[in-house]
Amino acid sequence: MGATIYCLCNQKGGCAKTTSSVNIGIGLAREGKKVLLVDADPQGSLTASLGYQQPDQIKVTLATILGAIIMDTPLPDGGGILHHGEGVDLLPANIELSGLEVTLVNIMSRETILRQYLQTVSEAYDAIILDCMPSLGMLTINALAAADEVLIPAQAHFLSIKGLEQLLRTIKKVKRQINPALSIAGILVTMADMRTNYAREIVEILRDTYGEKIRIFESIIPLSVRAAETSAEGKSIYLHDPAGKVAAAYAALTREVMRG
């Protein structure tokens, strides 16, 4: 059967994409699932958020693995997968990945290199979560080509919603040309201060504009300093602030994602 592959994707930065990848991944692990988190961003934000604060010093990363697939050489022992204390595995990334993105442009089957790798590890997991870079470049196309479902984190902000059109067009194109099995799991509203009229209006616009075609998750992730602090600590919101509203929101969201 293999893992369900989720891709967290938005070409706009600052929408809590990495924070959501960490907390959905660890949320699934807390529900008893075997989870692999894949950092598909050369900035290595996911890697740093899980406690590896010097990603450029990690020897085997996603770039190493994809490079081996491109060159048709054996994958390194252990496959570069790191184990995190909260029960998830991590395939890290660092700046080498941006060099690899340039290489991808000139090779055969360039959109499906990541998919080829994930097929080799899929059986060992229930869920694989891909944290994409904030652009619609070749690495993000690879993630969409490999994924079963796309989760779209969107900040409760007008410009964030405006940028969704381009992303949805890209997803549609990938589905049509490369990955017919791809579907959108839903749009996740993040960093929302629901005490304000502005945030409530944005959520309303989102539901009016996309709600009939795309699921808008009921669980809204509140704006919180506590959530921002977790990335510096290398642990999830569940450990950092277990009784807080963000932990409750991510736990509820995780259950929504599992229900499909």
Q: Which residue has the tokens 């075609």?
A: 213
The stretch 140-146 carries a mean pLDDT of 96
Query: Mean pLDDT across the stretch 29-33?
Result: 97
Q: Following DSSP, what letter does each residue of 157-218 receive, concatenated?
A: SHHHHHTHHHHHHHHHHHHHHT-TT-EEEEEEEESB-TTSHHHHHHHHHHHHHHTTTS-B-S
pLDDT exceeds cutoff 80 at 106: no
pTM of the model: 0.95
Q: What is the pLDDT of residue 1?
A: 75
Specify the pLDDT at position 163: 81
Q: Half-sphere exposure of 127 toward its Cβ, with a 13 Å CA cutoff?
A: 29
Is the pLDDT at 137 greater than 90, yes or no?
Answer: no
Confidence of residue 92 (pLDDT cuts 50, 70, 90): very high
What's the pLDDT band for 60 if we cut at 50, 70, 90? very high
Residue-level pLDDT at 62: 95
| 125's tokens | 């997991």
Tens digits of residue pLDDT in 170-194: 999 999 999 999 999 999 999 999 9
87 pLDDT higher than 80: yes
Q: Answer yes or no: is pLDDT of 136 > 90.
A: no
Give me the mean pLDDT over the 69-95 stretch. 91
Which CATH code is given to the segment(s) 4-259?
Answer: 3.40.50.300
The Cα–Cα gap between 40 and 117 comes to 13
What is the rounded average pLDDT of the residues 200-215? 93
Average pLDDT, the chain: 92
| Averaged pLDDT for residues 39-58 | 92
**pLDDT above 80 (res 206):** yes
pLDDT, average across residues 197-219: 94
* Rounded distance between C-alpha atoms, residue 93 and residue 59, angstroms: 10
